[in-house]
Amino acid sequence: MLDIEQSDALIAYLRASSHIAPVETPVIHNLAGGVSNRTVLVERENGEAWVMKQALEKLRVQVDWFSSTARIHREAAGLRWMQATVPDYAPPLVFEDETEHLLAMIAVPQPHINWKTQLLQGVVNRAYVAQFGWLLGSIQRLSLEHEGTADLFTDRGFFETLRLEPYYSYAASQVAAAAPFIHTLIEDTRARRLTLVHGDYSPKNVLVYDDRLILLDYEVIHWGDPAFDPGFSLTHFLSKAHALPEHRATFASAANTYWASYWDEVAALPFAAGLEARAIRHTLACLLARVAGRSPLEYLNADQRAHQQAVVVNLMTAAPDTIAELIGQFAALI
Ligand SMILES: Nc1ncnc2c1ncn2[C@@H]1O[C@H](COP(=O)(O)OP(=O)(O)O)[C@@H](O)[C@H]1O
Ligand SMILES: [Mg+2]
């Protein structure tokens, strides 16, 4: 089995599979960061650069966590959909290999920055925040218009094994007081098949290039609940508001900007009724999952995780009516 992090083996593979010429020697760099994949930058002699991604069977987290490597092909399908729909906001797919369970996409050119890195430095660019909301709303809106999208992404197996189980079910098993809230939310989520859901809509999966957000990481993309992505992503703004007290007001206000620009895109869509209330529930569940699930946020320490858990469990007993209220209450209580 090929391991793309072994550069000699990778070059031999690229030559043997005719993706590069037999005489070409690209420059290879292993990229760190992801927990569920190997990612490697391939700089070709012709100046082109690819990022190759190969799914791991066992994820690189502290607790045991497995997922089928076939998910890389779901990612390839996601990249193709983006290419056909919002081409400027995702890397073009170069090829995928069904045997080695890998793909190659065009590398986002330098200079780019990972948006999470920038946010954790306390740099909160309002235009990017608004673009992030607009992009999510646009994906949802266009997925209703783009013929055949639901059929392409019907399978939710990876969303189950990489999100609902490790984030929601596991958090419920760790925090008894939150279990009824989370179990009800899991059932409601499974019952909704309304739009394209990215499933990992986080600043960590965004590279900023030339003032444009390039969205990565489509492994858990599926046809499902429109409230999941906004809840998942609001969690990142709110947890950063928690982690960086000196920037708390800025992150809280960014969360409001984000929600407003998302809402502008989806308010007129058929699934908008009840969406805000469900996004509030997903935000609370994700805020808990990221401190008590299988994949806790590394930038919160043990005390902060315990505090976030207590605040969220309390908010779950009487969930706010609007996202703005949720943001205000979380920022005040945390
Ligand atoms: N097309 C790309 N261009 C440049 N860098 C990329 C590209 N795709 C991935 N990366 C880098 O690799 C990292 C991990 O990629 P990602 O798709 O998020 O994998 P994982 O599923 O392991 O999180 C990204 O955060 C980014 O730094
Ligand atoms: Mg990622």
pLDDT tens digits for range 33-45: 677 899 999 999 9
**Mean pLDDT value of segment 134-160:** 97
**Mean pLDDT value of segment 49-61:** 88
pLDDT band at 110 (very low <50, low <70, confident <90, very high): very high
- β-pair type (49-55, 222-224): unpaired
pLDDT at 225: 98
Residue 90: is its pLDDT beyond 70? yes
By C-alpha distance, which of 93, 49, 59 is closest to 74? 93
Q: Tokens standing for 20?
A: 């590069």
Rounded to an integer, what distance in angstroms lies between the CA atom of residue 307 and that of residue 274?
29
pLDDT at 187: 98
Rounded to an integer, what distance in angstroms lies between the CA atom of residue 290 and that of residue 309?
9
Residue 58: is its pLDDT beyond 70? yes
The SS3 call for residue 57 is coil
CA-closest residue to ligand 1 atom 23 = 34
Residue 317: is its pLDDT beyond 90? yes
pLDDT digit string, tens, across residues 239-294 = 999 999 999 999 999 999 999 999 999 999 999 999 999 999 999 999 999 999 88
Residue 229: is its pLDDT beyond 90? yes
Q: Determine whether 166 is exposed, middle or buried from the number of CB atoms within 10 Å of its CB (0-12, 13-18, 19+).
A: buried
What are the strands of the beta sheet with 112-114, ordered from one edge? 112-114, 206-209, 212-215
pLDDT band at 60 (very low <50, low <70, confident <90, very high): confident
pLDDT at 137: 98
**Mean pLDDT value of segment 73-78:** 97
What are the strands of the beta sheet with 93-97, ordered from one edge? 27-31, 37-43, 49-55, 102-106, 93-97
Rounded to an integer, what distance in angstroms lies between the CA atom of residue 109 and that of residue 48?
10
pLDDT > 70 fraction of the chain, expressed in percent and rounded: 99
Task: State the distance from the centre of ligand 1 to the C-alpha of 110, rounded, in angstroms.
Answer: 13
pLDDT at 33: 66
pTM recorded for the entire structure: 0.96
By C-alpha distance, which of 223, 220, 216, 294 is closest to 53? 216
In the chain, the largest separation of any two C-alpha atoms, in whole Å, equals 65
pLDDT at 53: 97
By C-alpha distance, which of 117, 132, 95, 144 is closest to 214? 132
Residue 61: is its pLDDT beyond 90? no
Q: Tokens standing for 206?
A: 């965004």
∠261-267-273 over CA atoms, to 5°? 130
Listing DSSP states for 226-286 in one string gives TTHHHHHHHHHHHHHHHH-GGGHHHHHHHHHHHHHHHHHHHTTSTT-TTHHHHHHHHHHHH
By C-alpha distance, which of 104, 8, 5, 88 is closest to 52? 104
Catalogue the long-range contacts made by 64-68 (C-beta closer than 8 Å, 24 or more residues apart): 65/166, 65/294, 66/161, 67/36, 67/158, 67/161, 67/162, 68/157, 68/158, 68/161
CA-closest residue to ligand 1 atom 10 = 51
Residue 62: is its pLDDT beyond 90? no
Rounded to an integer, what distance in angstroms lies between the CA atom of residue 330 and that of residue 179?
20
CATH class, range 7-106: alpha beta
Tell me whether domains 7-106 and 112-333 share a fold.
no
CA-closest residue to ligand 1 atom 1 = 107
pLDDT > 90 fraction of the chain, expressed in percent and rounded: 92
Question: Mean pLDDT over all residues of the chain?
Answer: 96
pLDDT at 295: 86
Q: For ligand 1, which residues put their CB under 6 angstroms from it?
A: 31, 33-34, 36-37, 39, 51, 53, 91, 105, 107-108, 114, 205, 207, 216-217, 219
Residue whose CB lies within 8 A of the most ligand 1 atoms, among 216, 218, 236, for a mutation test: 216
Rounded to an integer, what distance in angstroms lies between the CA atom of residue 249 and that of residue 113?
24
**Mean pLDDT value of segment 168-188:** 98
**Mean pLDDT value of segment 285-312:** 96
112-333 has which CATH code? 3.90.1200.10
CA-closest residue to ligand 1 atom 8 = 51
pLDDT at 35: 77
Residue 92: is its pLDDT beyond 90? yes
**Mean pLDDT value of segment 148-165:** 96
Residue 186: is its pLDDT beyond 70? yes
Q: 50 phi and psi, to 5 degrees? A: -115, 150
List, in sequence order, the alpha helices (H) in the chain: 7-16, 71-85, 115-120, 126-145, 149-152, 157-159, 170-174, 179-190, 228-243, 248-266, 275-292, 302-317, 323-333
Domain regions of the chain by residue span: 7-106, 112-333
The SS3 call for residue 26 is coil
Rounded to an integer, what distance in angstroms lies between the CA atom of residue 288 and that of residue 292?
6
